[in-house]
Structure 1
Amino acid sequence: MINPIAFATLLLAGLFGHFQPATAVGRACDPGSRPYSAWMTDSVIARQDAILSGKTEDDVSIVFKIGLFESTVIRLKEYYDADSCGKEDWHSYLLAGAESLIPRLLNLTGDIDAPMDVFATGEAIYHQYDRAHNATYKQVLDTLWQALNDRPRNSEGGFWFYKNYPNLSYLDESYPLSSFSSIWKTYFEPTNTTIADTLINDLDLLKNHCHHDDTGLIVHGYDASKSASWANATTGASPYVWDRALGWYHMALVDLLENADKNAVLSQTQRNDVYTKFYNLANTIINDADNATGCWWQVMEHGGQKGNYIETSGSSMFVYSLLKGARLGYLSGATPKGVGYTDAAHKCYNYLVDHVVSKEEDGTLGLDQTVSVCSLTTPTYEYYTSQPIDYNSVYGTAPFILASWEHEMFLSGDFP
């Protein structure tokens, strides 16, 4: 078996020196001012935070982080000219990151048994396949597709998030599932309606089991068997709303809407249902924003309580989803309570830039207040508020890049 660490080291040493960048596309950047999106992208690359290497091999979430960062940069370089906006080589890092994952992703059993995180890598792999049509990339995509179809599901057809946690479904799975399903249906099986049906069923189950009728927010996940000590006796729902889990769900909805409108990955009825979910949730998310900062607490619905704090990954995700929803016309004007959608997003974004982002001595950007990983093993309030806070976690920096990109498009007038 290939040693993934040695493989990644070889790639970093060789590809950066010999890989030919793609032809410049997108708008050039003014040398005198750097967009925060490009600056943070360069910072992640300079630290080698989003690649499988000796530094990251023990990170249980590295596969998700690489997939998230790669999909972020792929989008960014479709808007900006990577060669004038980036001081680092974005093209080579994308290739090296994708290649570093290949030994893991070609393990079918490993993909079936792994958390749903693994499907967040689909965009990174497809991007390289689209550029080179290398058979290995297609083999990886085929393996992921088989793994998705072979994964265990609950009695209602919802995916288990992780084989080791039978019958537990997490909001976290919505983003990788939606992303990979959209890629597969768009490029490989456009007439396969089962793909959309399976995806929509999973999104529906998460919403139906986990929805709080009083606030409109959605808790972290549910136990379909209702056997967990924390499971609601009627719905199986967990007790608390975790901001990043809800961020994954809201990002998945707005990205899925875009894919539905561009690539017809959903039927019209399904598209309208996703729109309703996205719109209603946008309003309830804004209702729960912190009055002072405009951002969101680690444990939503419990702002200001002891141990709770403004968390940057979920906050950045909401900024991204709200601004993208406004840019694409899914959100217009203000919430039913009179709060402007873009006003709410910009208030939080400005707080993040002014109070959470730091400029390091080496010229990179840092980001604080990102929670590490939260699961449904013991989802108490004390659990969520005591998990480690990671400085420069890709879970925070990648969504911040997306939020910055949307903010920059707004300032550039690229909004309807």
Structure 2
Amino acid sequence: MLISYFDDYARDYEPYKAGAWCYEDGCLYRGLITLHEATGDPRWLDHLTRLVDAQLDADGGLADYRITEFNIDNIQPGHALLYLHRLTSQARYLDAARQLGLQLTHHPRIGTGPYWHKLRYPHQVWLDGLYMAMPFKIALGLKLDDQALVEEAIRQLTTALDLTFDKASGLYRHGYDESRLQDWADPDTGLSPAHWARSIGWLAMAFVDVIEHLPEGESRRDLSKRLASLNDRLAALVTSDHRWLQVIDAPDVKGNYPESSATAMFAYALQKSERLGIDRHGDLGRSALKALTDLELRPVEGRRPQLQNVCCVAGLGPFQGIYRDGSIAYYLTEAIRPDDIKGVAPLMMAEAERLLAEGTALNRQDETRRLLQPVNAV
């Protein structure tokens, strides 16, 4: 069921922002990459190539991308550029990825090093942004044989983890304001007040996607220890039906609900954590994946199934005439959008991990090397 659902979804997908280069489309690209890596099925690569090429010109220019916006979200789709360059050796993909690297060179930072979330969110670090930037920065550093880029990304990530960690709960807060100017920021800590599940989901995915690229050593051990602690907290907070709530640690608050994008993100990260040898919570991830398939992937009359209970968007500070204060009550007011890509893409990634764990996937050592050889270099 899931494979046909993903295939239909990718076939029917309309770019999230009218074709402009954006992280939402990048989420789909990441889902397609993981399915292609896990199965070798060319349909996933065909979808990926078709969608990415529609946003890329012959010289590597990205559709409606402006570096001066300094939007950290725009970095995340760069994974697709590196993947397609790896498979085809076409220079335009790497040229485009270098543009994103140039943004990271000049992107504004807080005093201790991590990037601002966006130019319009000055002095702020959000968990979302750690996923958007750090795995790509490390992958680009490895591609360009630039170890300094890799090491800087690790420093930025660990600094941001220290800043956003809430010791009392063992969780991470959605945002940190260095300036303490935002109304949502605690005047002492600079932290936002509640624990939004999807922000922690972005972080969990950042953890595993960074750790997989690191050799054995102090940095890998440190990040693995932090992730194992987070995974233990996730195991303690899972609902009786194997999902996680929109405000993850507030089960008694009226209106709180099991949120599908965060659940899918944790389903992916927990399984991948086990594959990377960090801990043994893979079964919890697989049970969450099954819960989403059984409870939230529902047929819609006259249409294909849709993934339900996906929070459309949430953030901090002013946006479209409202002030998002980061409170529990705020997160429970955000709109729910069925089949939003921020839920479907991590569901793809979680299923790819399940296939790997099951042993039915093709990407074992020799097959992986064969699949990832450059083909028809142009």
Please state which band the TM-score falls in when normalised by the shorter chain.
Answer: 0.7 to 0.9
1:396 equivalent to 2:343? Answer yes
CA contact (8 A) 2:82 2:97 kept: yes
1:204 equivalent to 2:153? Answer no
1:352 equivalent to 2:299? Answer no
> 1:413 and 1:327, CA in 2 relative to 1: closer, same or farther beyond 3 A?
farther
What is the aligned counterpart of 2:238 among 289, 314, 321?
289
Q: Once the 2 structures are TM-superposed, how far is the Cα of residue 110 of structure 1 from its aligned partner?
A: 1.6
Distance 2:47 2:17 in 1: 17
Please list the CA deviations of residues 368-387 of structure 1 after superposition, one character each: whole Å capped at 9, or x if unmatched.
Answer: 11101111112222221111
Aligned counterparts, 1:291-310, within 5 A: 292-310=240-258
Query: How many percent identity over aligned positions?
Result: 24
Please list the CA deviations of residues 160-198 of structure 1 after superposition, one character each: whole Å capped at 9, or x if unmatched.
Answer: 0110111111000111212211221111124x32x2332
Query: Which amino acid in structure 2 is aligned with residue 388 of structure 1?
Result: A
1:100 equivalent to 2:65? Answer no
CA contact (8 A) 1:358 1:366 kept: yes
Q: Once the 2 structures are TM-superposed, how far is the Cα of residue 114 of structure 1 from its aligned partner?
A: 4.3
> 1:253 and 1:212, CA in 2 relative to 1: closer, same or farther beyond 3 A?
same
What is the aligned counterpart of 2:79 among 116, 123, 141?
123
Please list the CA deviations of residues 98-120 of structure 1 after superposition, one character each: whole Å capped at 9, or x if unmatched.
Answer: 12333696489823414211111
Q: Once the 2 structures are TM-superposed, how far is the Cα of residue 59 of structure 1 from its aligned partner?
A: 9.0
CA contact (8 A) 2:172 2:200 kept: yes
Aligned counterparts, 1:7-406, within 5 A: 36=2, 38-49=3-14, 52=15, 56-57=16-17, 63-83=22-42, 89-102=43-56, 106=62, 110-190=66-146, 192-193=147-148, 195-261=149-215, 268-290=217-239, 292-332=240-280, 341-360=281-300, 364-377=304-317, 378=324, 379-406=326-353
Q: Once the 2 structures are TM-superposed, how far is the Cα of residue 157 of structure 1 from its aligned partner?
A: 1.3
> 1:304 and 1:413, CA in 2 relative to 1: closer, same or farther beyond 3 A?
farther
Q: Once the 2 structures are TM-superposed, how far is the Cα of residue 247 of structure 1 from its aligned partner?
A: 0.7
Q: Once the 2 structures are TM-superposed, how far is the Cα of residue 211 of structure 1 from its aligned partner?
A: 1.4
Segments of structure 2 that go 5 or more residues without pairing to the other structure are 318-323, 365-378
Equivalent position SS for 1:369:
coil
Distance 2:17 2:181 in 1: 34
Equivalences, count:
353
CA contact (8 A) 2:180 2:190 kept: yes
Segments of structure 1 that go 5 or more residues without pairing to the other structure are 1-33, 84-88, 262-266, 333-340
Distance 1:397 1:286 in 2: 22
Equivalent position SS for 1:241:
coil
Distance 1:401 1:108 in 2: 27
Please list the CA deviations of residues 309-360 of structure 1 after superposition, one character each: whole Å capped at 9, or x if unmatched.
Answer: 110111111111111111222113xxxxxxxx23422332222111101245
Q: Once the 2 structures are TM-superposed, how far is the Cα of residue 361 of structure 1 from its aligned partner?
A: 5.8
Distance 2:79 2:235 in 1: 29
Distance 1:151 1:108 in 2: 18
Please list the CA deviations of residues 77-111 of structure 1 after superposition, one character each: whole Å capped at 9, or x if unmatched.
Answer: 1221425xxxxx43332112212333696489823
Q: Once the 2 structures are TM-superposed, how far is the Cα of residue 48 of structure 1 from its aligned partner?
A: 1.3
Per the alignment, residue 10 of structure 1 pairs with none
Query: Which amino acid in structure 1 is aligned with residue 263 of structure 2?
Result: S
Distance 1:252 1:75 in 2: 15
Which fold has the larger relative contact order, with Cα–Cα distance below 8 Å and residues 6 or more apart in sequence?
A: 2
TM-score normalized by the length of structure 1? 0.79
TM-score normalized by the length of structure 2? 0.86
Q: Once the 2 structures are TM-superposed, how far is the Cα of residue 279 of structure 1 from its aligned partner?
A: 0.9
